């Protein structure tokens, strides 16, 4: 009889429980900038759900996405029209096999977090992405979020090419041309660890389903 199997299983369960208990829960506020515009967003994060609010210039919410990280169900909500609908997005078909990923030795503190710089370069796409990543791997929601959304922007696509990205969160991410000229930038402005009310992930009463 192999007495190590039940011991190994118990240790795995304990380790998994500890990791899940340390998962980030709270809010993350960030801005997205490009040549033409700047938009503010808020993530509401739990271990199984994420809500993304897009804010208007006056700070009110213009649109919301509810993402179930387990089922990958994505629901979009239009607050002005009081409508909601399920969103189905296919993965990108871009060839990203020639991306070169590198974890640098550069470190600095951002918003009080110890961060290290990762880079991804794709010469065929004439693009380089830089990420300042929190050097603490308890942000497992983020990879699941990108997978559920199937985002097509290069910040997301390039980050997903990093082999060791599970559990890590880029507090700042930007893409540039190979000439160094900025294309777009995502920058976290505030992170708050707190319990998120389950009502945040419910469709508001009175909203109707939109079917295309």
Burial of 54 (0-12, 13-18, 19+ CB in 10 A): middle
**22 — pLDDT class (breaks 50, 70, 90):** low
**Backbone Cα Rg of the chain:** 19
Report phi then psi at 138, rounded to 5: -120, 30
CA distance 80 to 65: 14
> Pairing between strand 208-209 and 83-87?
parallel
Domain range 23-89+96-201, its CATH number among 2.50.20.10, 3.40.50.1000, 2.60.120.1140, 2.60.40.420: 2.50.20.10
**Averaged pLDDT, 35-64:** 94
**13 — pLDDT class (breaks 50, 70, 90):** very low
Between 124 and 19, the higher pLDDT residue: 124
CA 110, 111, 113, 119 torsion-angle sign: negative
Question: pLDDT tens-digit profile of 172-210?
Answer: 999 999 999 999 999 999 999 999 999 999 999 999 999
Between 46 and 211, the higher pLDDT residue: 46
pLDDT (0 to 100) of residue 18:
37
Query: Which residues lie below 8 Å from residue 42, measured CB to CB, with a gap of 6+?
Result: 27, 28, 29, 30, 52, 53, 55
Query: Which residues lie below 8 Å from residue 200, measured CB to CB, with a gap of 6+?
Result: 44, 51
CA nearest to 142, candidates 53, 67, 31, 33? 67
> What separation in angstroms does the CA of 159 have from each of 56, 70, 110, 122, 180?
27, 21, 19, 12, 18
Question: pLDDT tens-digit profile of 77-121?
Answer: 999 999 999 998 888 888 999 999 999 999 999 999 999 999 999
CA distance 27 to 24: 9
For the beta carbon of residue 173, count every other beta carbon within 10 angstroms: 26
Domain ranges within the chain, ordered by starting residue: 23-89+96-201
Burial of 47 (0-12, 13-18, 19+ CB in 10 A): middle
Place of tokens 């700042």: 172
pLDDT (0 to 100) of residue 111:
97
Decide if 118 contacts 133 (C-beta within 8 A).
yes
């Amino acid at each position: 009889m192999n007495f190590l199997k039940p011991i190994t299983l118990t240790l795995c369960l304990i380790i998994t429980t500890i990791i899940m208990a340390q998962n980030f829960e709270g809010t993350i506020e960030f801005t997205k900038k490009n040549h033409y515009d700047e938009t503010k967003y808020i993530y509401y994060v739990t271990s199984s759900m994420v809500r993304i609010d897009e804010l208007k210039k006056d700070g009110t919410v213009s649109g919301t996405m509810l993402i179930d990280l387990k089922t990958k169900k994505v629901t979009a909500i239009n607050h002005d029209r009081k409508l909601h609908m399920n969103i189905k997005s296919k993965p990108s078909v871009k060839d990203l096999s020639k991306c070169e990923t590198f974890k640098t030795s550069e470190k600095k503190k951002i918003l009080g977090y110890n961060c290290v710089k990762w880079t991804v370069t794709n010469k065929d796409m004439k693009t380089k992405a830089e990420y300042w990543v929190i050097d603490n791997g308890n942000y497992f929601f983020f990879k699941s979020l990108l997978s559920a959304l199937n985002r097509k922007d290069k910040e997301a696509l390039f980050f997903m090419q990093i082999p060791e990205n599970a559990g890590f969160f880029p507090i700042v991410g930007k893409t540039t041309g190979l000439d160094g000229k900025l294309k777009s930038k995502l920058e976290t402005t505030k992170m708050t660890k707190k319990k998120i009310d389950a009502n945040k992930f419910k469709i508001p009463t009175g909203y109707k389903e939109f079917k295309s």
